[in-house]
Structure 1
Amino acid sequence: MPPKFKEGDIVFSFSGSWISYTHTAFAYIAFLGALVVGTWLHYYKIVENEHYGYPEEWFPSVSATIGDRYPERSVFMVGIALTSGPRFALVALYYFLTARPNSSLPKIVFWVGVFRTLTCGGWTYVTSTDDHDWHDIFMISYLVATLPWTLGCLALSPPNPKAIKYRKILAALFFGTLVPLIYFFIQHKVHKVAGAYTIYAFFEWSLILFDVAFDAVTMYDFSSFEIVVRDVKGLSRGNAKLLKDEIKEKERNQAVIQSSTFDGPYNWWDLSIALADVYNGFVFWTVLTSLGLCVWYFPLWHMGISGYEVAVMSTVSPLLLGIPAFRSLAIKYNRWFHLSAVIPGLLAWQVTNQANRLFAISFAVWQGCLAWTATWYAERGNTGRLQARILAWTIGLVLSSIAKFACYSNNPLWPIMRAENGGWNWTGLLLAIPAVWHSTRPVITSGGDQISNSGQKGSSLMAGVGVGGLLFAMHSLLSDSSTIISWTWSGYPINGPQQVPYGALTILAMGAGLLFGISTPDLLASWTAYGIGAVGAMFLTYYKDWAGYYGGLVFTVYVCGVAPVLIKSAVRHNPAVTFGFGFFIYNLMVLFHVWVVAYAFVPGGPLVRERSDWVMICTVLQIGNGVFSALTTNAQSREKTTKSPRGRKQSAYYLHILFALQLLSMSIAYLRFPSNDYRPYHPEEKSFTAGIWTIHFSLDNDMWSSERRMAQAIRELEVDVIGLLESDTQRIIMGNRDTMQYLAEDLGMYVDYGPGPNQHTWGSALLSKFPILNSTHHLLPSPVGELAPAIEATLDVYGTPVDVFVFHSGQEEDPEDRRQQSEYLARIMSATPRPAILLSYLVVKPGEGNYHTYSGPGSGMHDIDMSDWDRWCEYILYKDIKRTGYARVSRGTITDTEIQLGKFVVGQPADYSDTRISEEQVPPGLRFPALFKGEGVRGHRYHVFDEPRYFA
C-alpha cells in the first residue's frame, strides 16, 4: 500500500549496489571461512575420501568442508544465514529492474530466484547425515534451478555493456566447468584414480566462486537504485534529504532486453494445451515402441518365423488416407481416432492372452499412425499450429526416452509392464484420456497464414522415403537414451560414456536438435547439415568409445533437427504416399536391422548377414531423399513460418516444456549416478558364488518384463558374479531396452556388456560384485551360423586377479561353427596365467565332441562336476581356484533355462578331485541358501540333484 503522505523525512538511504556487495561478501565468508577453519582444524579428515587420503588427496571438496564437523559447519551455516537477507533483496531488486507490463520472463526469473534461495537453505541446514534423501532433493533442486536463473538473468540483462560482458564470461566459465567436474568425479568414483578427487575439488570450488560472482555483477545494475527509508509521519529525527525525482525517472526509463517468446502475459491455458499435446505424442511413441516387443515374443518361443511378424505392418494405415472420403472422416473425427489408439494401447496390459495382447497393440498402432498423419495433414494450411503439432510429437519421443531413463530403460506404460514389475499403466491411461480430449479440441482458424497449393512441391515418393528413414532413425537410435552408448561401449578400463549418467547427454542432444530445427530450418534443410549428420552416422557406425559417441550425438542433433523440415514437406503431398509409403519403408528398415543378426532364422538372411553398416547407409540415404524433396516443397512456407509471430508464440510453450524435460533428465542422471561401492555376500570366507543364466531377452513365459524377478532370484541366491546370455535387447524388435541397468543398480554390481548391438550377436553380459579391472570382447569364428559372443574379464576378487569368461556358442545346426569356436575359446582360456572360470552355453553333451576341447589339457579348464550327465547347454568350468560347491536351480517361469551356480574360494590351493562332503561339514558362509531347498520359492528350487553339491 502506498504511503498516506507523499513527502517525508529520509531516515536512511544507500545505493542499491550495497545489496550486491553484502551478498557477495557474506557468501564468500560462508564458504571460504569454512574452508579456512576446516583446513586448520581437520585437514587430514576433510581431504580423505572413500578411496584415498593424504598425500594422494590434498585439497578438500566443498561437501567435505561444509559437512558435519564442528565448528566449520557452524561457520558455514551462520554465513549462509547472513547471506539470505541480501539474497532475497537481490532477487527482488533484479525483478524491479527488469519488470515491465505484459512481460512474463521477469516474473518467472523472480520465482526461480526465490525457489533457488529456499532450496539453498534446504541443503545447508538439512545435511546428508540428518536426512540423506531430503538433502539430495534440495541439492538437486538448487542445481536444476541454477540453469534457468542464469539464462534468465542473461536474457533480461539491462543494456549495460560491462555487466553483460561479465555475465557472459562467468556463465561460460560456470557451465564450462561442469564438463571437467563430471569427468574427474567419474575418474574418482568409477575408476578410483588417485588424486582425481583433489582436481574435482578445485573445479567444485570454482563453481562456487563463479556462481557467487555471477550474482555479484548486479552491482553494476543496482547503482541506478537508491534504497530509502522514509519517515512519512515525521516521528524520527532522520536525515532531511529527499529522494530525487530524477532517480525515479531514471528507474522508469531503464531499458531491458526481453525474449520475444515471453512478451505478453503467460497464457496458462495455452500451456495446458501444449502439455496435453506432448503427452499425446508420448503415448504414440509408447504404443509404437511396444509393438516390436509383443511381436518378438512369438518368434522367440517358436525359434523362427511364427507368422505374428505380420503385425509390424500395422503402421501402414495412412495408406487409407488416399481415399478422399476416409481422409475427410479422419480429419473430422480426429479426436476419436486418437482415443481409439490410446485406450486399447494403454489397456493392452490387461489382456492375459499373449496373441490377443499383440492384436490390441497392433490395432492401437494402426489407429495412432492414422490419427497423427491426419492431424498433421489437417494443419498443413496453418504453419504455427503445424509446427506445434510436430513439436508435440517429437517432444513426445524425448519424454518417452526420459521415462525409460528414469525406469531403467523400460517404459512404465508398455503392455509388458504392470504394477508388480514397475508399471504405471492405470496412471498413464487416466492422464492420457483427458490429455487427448484437451489436445484434440476443435479450433477455428482464420487461415491468415495458409500456404498456397500452387508452385513446385518436389517428389512425393522421395518425401515418403525421407519420412521412412526419419522414423527408423528416431526409433532405432533415439527411443532409448542408452542405445548409441551401447553401440560404442568397448569394456574395461572405461574409455567412453556409460549409460548412466551420459544418457542425459543423449537426451540433451535430442532437445538441442529440435530447437535448431525450428529456429534455423534453412540450415537443417541444407546439404551442409546433411553432410555433417552423415559424418556423425559414420563415426557412430565405425568407431568405439568417445569418438563413436560424439558421432552419435552429432547424428542425434541432425535427426531431431531435420524432423520438422521433413514432416512439413510431407504434409504438402498426398498423405497416403508420404506417410503410408513412408511407414512401409520404415517397416522394411525394421526388418532389415533385425535380419542382419537373425540371418540364421529368416529367408534370405545370409544376404544381409552382419551388415549394420548397410542399414545405416540406407537410413542416411533415405533421409537425403526427404531433404532433396523438402528443398523444393518448403520453399514457399519457410518464410511465412519464420516470420509468423503467432507461430513463434504457439511454439514457445512447447519449448518451455522441452526445457523443463531437459532439467528433469539431468536430475534423473544425478539420482542414478552409480555408487560403485559394492560388497560381496561373504567376504569373511573370501568366497564368491558364480552363476550362468540365459535370460531370454528379459521377457518371461507370459510376456512380462522380467528384470525385477531376475534380480530377486539373483539376490536370494547370493550370486556375486553372474554371466547372462541372450541379453542384447537394443533393437526395435526388442524394445531398445537395457536390462543390465536395473540389475546392476538394484543388485549393486559392476556391469560389462559383450559385443554391442552393432556387432550382430544375441548378447552376453557380466555382472560382478568385484571391480572389473579389464575386459575384452570377442566375436568367435562363425563361418555358417550366428556369431558367438564372449567376454573375457579380469576381476579383483579380494585382491586376487581372477579371469571370468562368459560365452554363448553357436547353434546345434552348425557343427563346424561350434568346433572352431571351441578351439578359439580353448586358446584364450589356456593363455591366461591367472585363476579362471568359464560361465557358458556350449550346446554339447558331457564327455562328447567339443566338450573335450573346452575341458581338458588344451584349455587347462576343469568341469565343475563331471558326474552331472544331464547338461546340454550351460556349463561352469574352472582352473587354479578352489571349488567348494555346485548347484542347479530350476528356471521357474522367468526364462526357458535354469540357473547354474558354483562356489569358489580364493587364497587356497585348487583341488580337482570329485570328493563330495555333506552340507553339515561345510562352514555356514560357504553354503548355498536354504531358501531354495525342497519346493523352493516362486518356482525356483534346487533340482536334478534336489540339493546343492559340496566338495572337499
Structure 2
Amino acid sequence: MAPKIKDGDVVATINGKWVAYLHTFMAYAAFLGALVVGLSLHYHKIVQNEFYGYPQEWFPSVSSTIGDRYPERSVFMVFIALTSGPRFGLVALWYILTRKPNSTLPKFIAGVGAFRTLTCGGWTYVTSTDDHHWHDIFMVSYLVATIPWTLGCLALTPRNPTALKYRKFFAGSFFGLLVPLTYFFIQHKVHRVAGAYTIYALFEWLVVLSDVAFDTVTVLEFSNVEIVVKDLRGISRGAGNKAVSDAVLEKQKDKEVVAVFSSAFSYAELLDAVADVYNGYVFWSMLTALGLSVWYFPLWHMGLSGHEAMVLCTVSPILLSIKSLRFIIVRNVRICHLLSLSGLLAFLVKSPENRLFCAGFGVFMGCLSWSATFFAERSQSHRLEARITAFCLGLLTSSIAKFAFRTNNPIWPVMHGPNGGWNKVGFTLAVLAMLRSTRTTASSGSDIPAPGPTKGSATLTGIGFAGLLFALHTHLSDSSTMISWVWEGYPVRGPIAVPHGAWTLIAMGFGLSIGLFAPGLARSWAFYGIGSIGAAVLTTSSHWTGYYGALAFAVYLMAVAPVIISHAARHSPAQTFGTGFGVYNVLVLAGCWPVAYAFVPGGPLLRERTDLVVLATMLCIGCGVFSVASQPPPPSAQKYKGKANPAASKQRSYYIYILLFLELLAVSIAYLRFPSYDYTPYNAEEKSITAGIWTIHFGIDNDMWSSEHRIRDLIKELEVDVIGFLESDLQRIIMGNRDFTQFLAEDLGMYVDYGPGPNKHTWGAALLSKFPIVNSTHHLLPSPQGELAPAIHATLDCYGEFIDVFVFHSGQEEDPEDRRLQSIYLANLMKETPRPAILMSYLVTKPLEGNYNTYVGEQSGMKDIDPSDWDRWCEYILFKGLKRTGYARVSRSTITDTEIQVGKFVVGKPENGNEQISEEQVAPGLRFPALFKGEGVRGHAFHVFEPRYYA
C-alpha cells in the first residue's frame, strides 16, 4: 500500500502537458529562429559549402545555420539552453509514468534521456568551428543515444493507441530519413554533385523536426498528469505507481516479446553474454592472425619455407575422436580456453619464428575449445544457440574492431604499442571474459546427446562447416574486402571502404537475425540459391551491382551459420569440426593459389581462377545444407511446456542488445572516419609535386610487425605529395584481409586508389595523392607465363592542370618474354596521353639496357629522372612534360626490402635537361628535407648519393 502524502496547502497545479509544449516551443524556436535570422542576414554565406554556392546550393544545412555566424548562433544557443529545463522535466515525468516494480528498463531509458540532453549541450556549445573532434563526439553520442531512447519509449508507451501511432510515425520518419540524408551527403562529399548538399540539408532539417516531434507526443500522456506544488512541513514521499502498460503485459504474458520485457533486466546475464561475445572475438582475432603470421616466412624466403605447416594447427578438433580425451577436454573446457589465450601473448615474443609458434598454439587450442564447447552444449538448444550467436557476433566484433582501427586488429601478434596495438588490454579482458563465460557447460563432461533423432551425414556437415568458415573468413573478416573486389577506380561508381563498410557490417547483423528468428528460411534451398547468386554477382560484376551481390552473400552466410553449426554439434565433433577445419585448410590454400601460382607446385592449375574457388566454397556449403535438410526441425528453444520460455527468450534478448550496440558502433565509426577530402600539397606556393615509388612488402616489416605507422612517418617527413605503392594488395586470408592504404590516406590526408582488387590476381599496386584523382583506370598487362603485372593510369588535378600518373609493377625476372610484352604495352599507354605524365614503377631492368629503352625514349615519350643513376634494377621514376627539379633515394631501414625513390617536379614549366645544380641554387620549397642528411632519422637517410637538383 502506498504511503500517505502529508497534508499541506496547494500552492499551484500545473498540467503535465505544458512541460511537453514548452519543450517543443523552445526547441523549435532555437532551430527555426536561427534559420529565419540566418536566411535574412547571411543567406549567401550559409548556403555556401566547400564546392558550391548560390545558385547551385540554395538552402543551408543545420550546422551552417546554427554554428558559424552571429547573431543566429546566439539565437540558437539561448533557446536551446532554455530547452534544457523542460527537457529534464520531460524525462523525469516519463520515468514517473512508466516505472514499475522489478524493472530497470524505465530507469535505463531515463538515464539515456538525461545523457541525450547533456550531449545535445555538448554539440551545441562546442561547434565544429571551435573543436571539430569534440563536436563530432558529442553529435555521434547524441545520435547513438537516440536509438535506445526511441525504442525504449515505444516499448514503455502506456495503453494509448493514438500516442503509439504517432510515435511510430515520427520514429519511422527519423530513421527513414537517415537513408536519403546519407546518400546525398555522399553525393556531395565524394562525387561533388552540384545541389546535392541542398537536398541533404532539407533532409537534415526534416530529421531535426521529426526528432523534436517524437517527444512532443508525450502531450497525450502528460495531459492526464498534474504537477502539484504543496507547502509541506516535512518531506513528501511518493509511491511507485504501476504503469498502465502493465495491464497489457499481464494480458499478453504468453507472448515471446512480453516474456523478454516483463521480467527484470539482469546485468549479470548481460555481462555473461558480453563475455561470450568477447570470447568469440578473441577466437576470430587469433584465427585471422594465423595466416598473416605464416605469410611472413614465404614472403621473405620468396618461396615455401616449411613454416606453412602451421596452418594445420586448426585441425585440432580431430583429437575429440578419442573418447577419453574428449571427456577430459569437455570437462575442462575452461582450461582449454585459457590456454588458447597464449595466442594473445605472442606479441611479447620478439623472434618471428617463436611468435608464429605461440600464435599457432593459441589457434590450436581455440579451435579445439570452441568445437568442444559446441558439442558440450548440444543437449540444451538454447545454450547451444547462445554459444553459436556469440561465435558469430565475435566475427562481427572482430570486423568492427578492424573497421575502427583501419583494417588492423589491435590484438593481433603483429601489433604492439608502437604501431597502435592494444594487446595488453585485449589480453586482460580476454582472461576476465573466459573466466566468466566458461563457468559451466550443459554436459559438464558427460555425453548427453542432443534432443530428438540425429539425421544427415556428419562428413557432409563438416564439409558444409568448412565452406562456411572459409567464406566468413575470406569475405566478412574485414568490412572492406568485398568493396575492394568491386572497386574499379575513379570516378567513384560504387561503394568505398568508408562509409560503406558499415553497410557490410549491418548486412552481417541482419543475416544473423534471420538465422536466429527464421531458421527455416536460413536452411532452405531457396535461400541457398539467393546466397549463390549473390556470390556469383560479387565475383563477376563491379561497382554497385557487384556490391549488391556482396550484401546478399553476407546476409546469407551469417544466416546459415547458426543452422550449420548447430547441426554439426549433433554429430561426432571429430567428424564434423575436425573434417571441417581440415577442408577449410584446403580452401585456404586454394584461395592463395590463383595469385601465388608462380611460387607453388601445381599453382598454374588455379591461375587466375578465383571463380573456381568461390564455386567450390558454395558447393561445400551446399553439402552442409543438404545434410541439414534431412534433419527434422528441432523443437523451438523458445518453448517450454507448450508455452513461451521466458528464460530462453530473455537470454536471446541480451545478444540482440549486443548486436544493436555493435551496429550502432559501426555506424558511429563510419561517421567519425568519413574523409574530409580537403587536402593540401606540401609546397603549394611552388606549384611542386613530390612523387615517390615504394615496394612495401605487404605492410609487414623485417621483424614481423605491421608497418603502416612507420611508412606514414617517412612519407610525412619526406613531404611526398603523390606516391605509388607496390606489393600492396592485402585483402586475402594470408595477408590478414587488410588495407593499409586506408590508414595512410586518412592520417596523411590523401586521396587513394586501391588499385586492382584481390579478384584481379595481382600482388597489388596502389596510388595515394594530395591532389584530387579525376579519373583512374586499372590495367593488367600481358603475362602469358609469369605473375600478373598491375598498373594504374590516373589523371590528377594539380594546381588546375591535369597530370597523368602511372603506377606499375613489372613481372618477375624469370619471365623475360612477359617483361618484354609488358614494356611495349606500358610504353604505348604512356605515349598515347597528351598530358604531362609521371611513371612510378618497378621495371626489373638495368639502366640503358634491354627493356629500359622501350620504357624510356621515343616509343613511350618518357624521360628517366636521372639517366646517370646506374645502380638501379627495380624502381624507376620517368616523366614527360614537367620540369624535374630534384631526385633522391632514401634507405628503407627495416620496413621493407626496397628503398623509396622520390622526385620533385614543377607544374606549368617546360621539361629541362640533365644539368645538375647545387642545393643553394634551389628555392627552399623545392629542396628535400634536411632531416635525412647524414645519419638521417630512424634508419632512413639519403644513400647512394646526396639529393640531386636540376636547373
TM bracket, shorter-chain basis: over 0.9
Deviation at 1:724, TM superposition (A): 0.2
The answer to whether the 8 A contact 1:458-1:632 is kept is yes
The one of 581, 584, 589 equivalent to 1:583 is 581
Deviates more, 1:303-312 or 1:266-275: 266-275
Aligned 8 A contact 2:693 2:875 in 1: yes
Q: Secondary structure in 1 aligned to 2:570?
A: coil
In structure 2, what is the equivalent of residue 240 of structure 1? none
- Equivalent position of 2:498 in the other structure: 500
Does structure 1 retain, via aligned residues, the 8 Å contact 2:259–2:645? no
Q: Which residue of 1 aligns with 2:512?
A: 514
1:634 and 1:917, CA in 2 relative to 1: closer, same or farther beyond 3 A?
farther
2:290 is matched with 291
Alignment partner of 1:862 is 2:863: yes
Please give the per-residue CA displacement for 1:867-892, whole angstroms capped at 9, x wherever unaligned.
Answer: 11111111111111111111111121
Distance in 1, Cα, partners of 2:157 & 2:611: 49
Q: Report how far residue 788 of structure 1 moved.
A: 0.9
User: Are 2:799 and 1:801 aligned?
Assistant: no
Cα distance in 2 for residues equivalent to 1:410 and 1:641: 42
Partner of 2:390: 392
- Specify whether residues 74 and 634 from structure 1 end up closer, same or farther in structure 2 by C-alpha distance, changes over 3 A only: farther
**Which residue in the other structure is 2:237 paired with?**
none
Shift of 1:183: 2.0
1:717-766 per-position Cα deviation (integer Å, ceiling 9, x unaligned):
11100000000000000001111011111111110011101111100000
Instruction: For residue 641 of structure 1, report the CA deviation from its aligned partner.
Output: 6.7
| 1:569 corresponds to which of 567, 578, 591 | 567
Question: 1:230 offset after TM fit, Å?
Answer: 4.7
Distance 2:740 2:170 in 1: 41
The 2-side partners of 1:5 and 1:853 are apart by 98
Do the aligned residues in 2 keep the contact of 1:383 with 1:641 (CA within 8 Å)? no
User: In the alignment, does 2:50 pair up with 1:36?
Assistant: no
Q: Is the 8 A contact 1:881 1:906 kept in 2?
A: yes
Q: Hey, what does 2:137 align to over in structure 1? A: 137
- Map Cα deviations across residues 48-103 of structure 1 (whole Å, 9 max, x no partner): 22233223322111111111422212211221122222222222333333333333
Whole-angstrom distance in 2 between the partners of 1:174 and 1:928: 53
Q: Is the 8 A contact 1:97 1:254 kept in 2?
A: no
Aligned-pair identity in percent equals 65
Q: Which amino acid aligns with 2:735?
A: M
Letter in 1 for 2:115: F
Residue in 1 aligned with 2:319?
320
Question: How far apart, in 1, do the equivalents of 2:824 and 2:107 lie?
Answer: 71
Shift of 1:31: 0.5
1:598 is paired with a residue whose SS is helix
Q: Which amino acid aligns with 1:841?
A: Y
Cα contact 1:382–1:450 (8 A) shared by 2: no
Q: CA deviation at 1:547?
A: 1.5
1:638, distance to aligned residue in structure 2 (A): 4.3
Q: Give deviations 1:310-332, integer Å, cap 9, x for gaps.
A: 11111000001011001001101
Q: Which amino acid aligns with 1:352?
A: K
Write out aligned runs for 1:464-503 (5 A): 464-503=462-501
C-alpha offsets along residues 23-50 of structure 1, whole Å, 9 cap, x if unaligned? 2222111100110011112222222222
Q: CA deviation at 1:480?
A: 0.9
Contact kept, 8 Å, 2:790 with 2:808, in 1: the verdict is: yes
- Pairing 1:847-926 to 2, within 5 Å after superposition: 847-911=848-912, 913-926=913-926
Amino acid at match of 1:188: H
Q: Does the C-alpha gap of structure 1 residues 296 and 750 become closer, same or farther in structure 2, counting only changes over 3 Å?
A: same
1:394-793 to structure 2, matched below 5 A, reads 394-442=392-440, 455-633=453-631, 635-638=633-636, 644-793=645-794
- Asked if structure 2 preserves the Cα contact closer than 8 Å seen for 1:384 and 1:641, the reply is no
RMSD: 2.5
Q: Is the 8 A contact 1:766 1:806 kept in 2?
A: yes
Of 22-31 and 326-335, the range deviating more from structure 2: 22-31
Contact 1:480 1:736 in 2 (8 A): yes
Q: Quote the offset at 1:577 in angstroms.
A: 0.7
Q: More displaced, 788-797 or 206-215? A: 206-215
Instruction: Tell me, in whole angstroms, the C-alpha distance in 1 between the residues paired with 2:198 and 2:360.
Output: 55
Deviations 1:834-888 (A, max 9, x none): 1011111111111222112111111111111111111111111111111111111
In the alignment, structure 2 segments of 5+ residues that lack a partner are 235-240
1:662 Cα deviation from its structure 2 partner = 1.6
Paired with 1:835 and 1:890, the residues of 2 have a C-alpha distance of 29
State the Cα distance separating 1:10 from its structure 2 match.
4.9
- Offset at 1:165? 2.6
Q: Is the 8 A contact 2:521 2:527 kept in 1?
A: yes
Q: Which residue does the alignment assign to 2:942? A: 942
State the distance in 1 between where 2:396 and 2:736 align. 15
1: CA distance between counterparts of 2:745 and 2:259?
46
The 5-angstrom pairing of residues 335-350 of structure 1 reads: 335-342=334-341, 344-350=342-348
In 2 relative to 1, CA 20–479 (structure 1 residues): closer, same or farther, beyond 3 Å? same
Aligned mates of 1:159, 1:729 — CA distance in 2: 56
| 1:847 aligned counterpart, secondary structure | coil
CA distance in 2, matches of 1:456, 1:570: 10
User: Residue 633 of structure 1: SS of its match in structure 2?
Assistant: coil
Return the offset for 1:251.
5.3
Counterpart contact for 1:280–1:432, Cα < 8 Å: yes
Greater shift in the superposed pair: 692-701 or 495-504: 495-504
Q: How does 1:189-208 map to 2 (within 5 A)?
A: 189-208=189-208
Alignment of 1:162-311 (within 5 A): 162-230=162-230, 255=248, 259-311=258-310
What CA distance in whole angstroms lies between the structure 2 residues aligned with 1:407 and 1:452?
41
Q: Distance in 2 between matches of 1:901 and 1:98?
A: 67
CA distance in 1, matches of 2:845, 2:187: 43
Residue type of the alignment partner of 1:331: V
With 132-141 and 488-497 compared, the bigger mean Cα shift is at: 132-141
Deviates more, 1:571-580 or 1:197-206: 197-206
Secondary structure of the residue that 1:409 maps to in structure 2?
Answer: coil
Partner letter of residue 512 of structure 2? Answer: L
Q: Secondary structure at the match of 2:690?
A: strand
Question: Residue deviations 1:492-548, cap 9 Å, x none?
Answer: 111111111222221122122112211111111112221111121122111111121
Give unmatched runs, 5+ long, in structure 1: 235-247
CA contact (8 A) 1:5 1:232 kept: no
Distance in structure 1 (CA, Å) of the matches to 2:433 and 2:670: 28
* Distance (whole Å) between structure 2 residues aligned to residue 125 and residue 923 of structure 1: 45
Report deviation, 1:446. 12
TM-superposed CA distance for 1:778, in Å, is 0.8
Per the alignment, do residues 950 and 218 of structure 1 end up closer, same or farther by CA in structure 2, a change over 3 Å counting?
same
The amino acid that maps onto 2:122 is G
Deviates more, 1:758-767 or 1:500-509: 500-509
Contact 1:158/1:254 (CA < 8 Å) preserved in 2? Answer: no
Query: What is the one-letter code of the residue matched to 2:877?
Result: I
Q: Deviations over 1:886-944 (max 9, x none)?
A: 11111211110111111100111112x21111111111111111111122222211112
Deviates more, 1:433-442 or 1:474-483: 433-442
Partner of residue 77, structure 2: 77
- 1:244 matched residue in structure 2: none
Using structure 2 for the length normalisation, give the TM-score: 0.95
Matched residues, number:
940
Partner secondary structure for residue 200 of structure 2: helix
Q: Distance in 1 between matches of 2:511 and 2:585?
A: 25
Q: Mark the CA change 1:820 to 1:686 in structure 2 (over 3 Å): closer, same or farther.
A: same
Q: Deviations over 1:101-150 (max 9, x none)?
A: 33343332222112111211222223334443332221111011111112
Relative to structure 1, the CA distance from residue 451 to residue 228 in structure 2 (aligned partners, 3 Å threshold; closer, same or farther) is farther
Is the partner of 2:811 in helix, strand or coil? coil
TM superposition score normalised by structure 1:
0.95
Match of 1:102 in 2: 102
Question: What amino acid does structure 2 have at the position aligned with 1:687?
Answer: S
Distance 1:187 1:645 in 2: 47
Change (3 A) 1:536 1:814: same
* Deviation (angstroms), 1:175: 1.5
Q: Deviations over 1:750-789 (max 9, x none)?
A: 1001110111110000000001011111111111111111
Instruction: Give the SS at the match of 1:813.
Output: coil
Deviation at 1:714, TM superposition (A): 0.7
Cα shift at 1:252: 8.5
Structure 1 residue identity aligned to 2:198: T
